Each structure stands twice: as structure tokens, then as C-alpha cells.
Amino acid sequence: MAESLALIRETNESLSFDEAIKTGVNAYGIVTSFDVETDEDKRRLFKAQNTAAPLSDMDGTYIDLVDIAFTTSSFIGGDEEGEKTDNPAVILIDQEGECYFSASLGVYESVKALINSYGMPKTWNHPIKVVTKTRSTRNGRTYRYLDM
């Protein structure tokens, strides 16, 4: 069963934000910004895990963000061994209950910065409007991030 990030941090206050996310994901598979207690909470969790649309399909679209979930995404590395790597992943949940998934490290870092600036979603007075963007680096690689 999923656990809320706030509860994980309350249990061990010495954990950094990253450590709390990784601890929760390792223990539960997913960590949420909302408590998972009621049937409605469980429905939201199920939808986040099973129907999240790729955030990459939403480039340039604004999302009225109300909740966040953290999980991992595994991929095969580009090395000769083809070693499996776990990457932090984020699920964004909008005010209509729609969910968007991203395994982009840039989106993960953007969400951490958003929480550092605004606090956990349950403390927000209203949805926070974010937009996903893609930027190219000097060496031709691209990365995805959130903006306002």
C-alpha cells in the first residue's frame, strides 16, 4: 500500500527530502502527497498508477496541479551490458483528477523545487499552475522540466 510523504518524514525527521522519497518508494513502491485512507483516495492512487498519461505528450500545456506521487521507472542503460537502471519518476495529478507520468530527472528536480517553494500540496490554498517544457543542451541532448 502507498504511504504519504508527510508520514514518512514525520517518522524519521532526519531524512532529507530525497531520502524520504527513496525510502518510501523502496518500502511501498509509491509515495504520495495525499493520505491514502478513504475509497476515494484509493481510487486516486489506482488512477495515478494505472492511467497516467505521458507528460511528454503535454509539452506546453498548463496543468492545475493539486497532488503529486513519486515512484520509479526502470530502463535499460545504453552500456554494453544493458544494465537495468531505476530512475525517480513523478506522477502529477490535476484538479480534474487527470494524471501525468514522467521519468525525467528534470521534472523530478522541478517538483522538488516546487515543494521547497510552496510546501506540500495539502498546504496549498489553490491548485498551482505548471507547464511542462523541453530545453536543449549545448551538446544536443534535451531535457524536460516544469515552469510556471
Higher model confidence: residue 72 or residue 113?
Answer: 113
**pLDDT tens digits for 94-116?**
999 999 999 998 999 999 999 98
CA pair distance 71, 96, nearest whole angstrom: 21
Residue 87 has pLDDT above 70, yes or no: yes
Strand ranges, E, within 2-120: 3-4, 31-32, 53-54, 62-76, 84-94, 99-102
**pLDDT tens digits for 4-24?**
566 655 556 777 878 888 888
Q: What pLDDT does residue 82 have?
A: 64
- Across the range 128-143, mean pLDDT stands at 92
Question: Measured between alpha carbons, how far is residue 84 from residues 88, 109, 138, 144 in Å?
Answer: 13, 22, 27, 22
Percent of the chain with pLDDT over 70: 84
Taken in order 146, 93, 115, 74, the sign of the CA dihedral is negative
Contacts of residue 113, defined as CB under 8 A and 6 or more positions apart, other chains included, come to none
Q: Is 70 left (phi over 0), alpha (psi -120 to 50) or beta?
A: beta
Q: What pLDDT does residue 60 have?
A: 93
| Whole-structure pTM value | 0.85
Residue 72 has pLDDT above 70, yes or no: yes
Take residue 102 and report the three cell numbers written for it: 514522467
Check: CB of residue 38 under 8 Å from CB of residue 62.
no
Q: What pLDDT does residue 109 have?
A: 93
Q: What pLDDT does residue 18 have?
A: 81
Question: Measured between alpha carbons, how far is residue 50 from residues 41, 71, 146 in Å?
Answer: 14, 12, 22
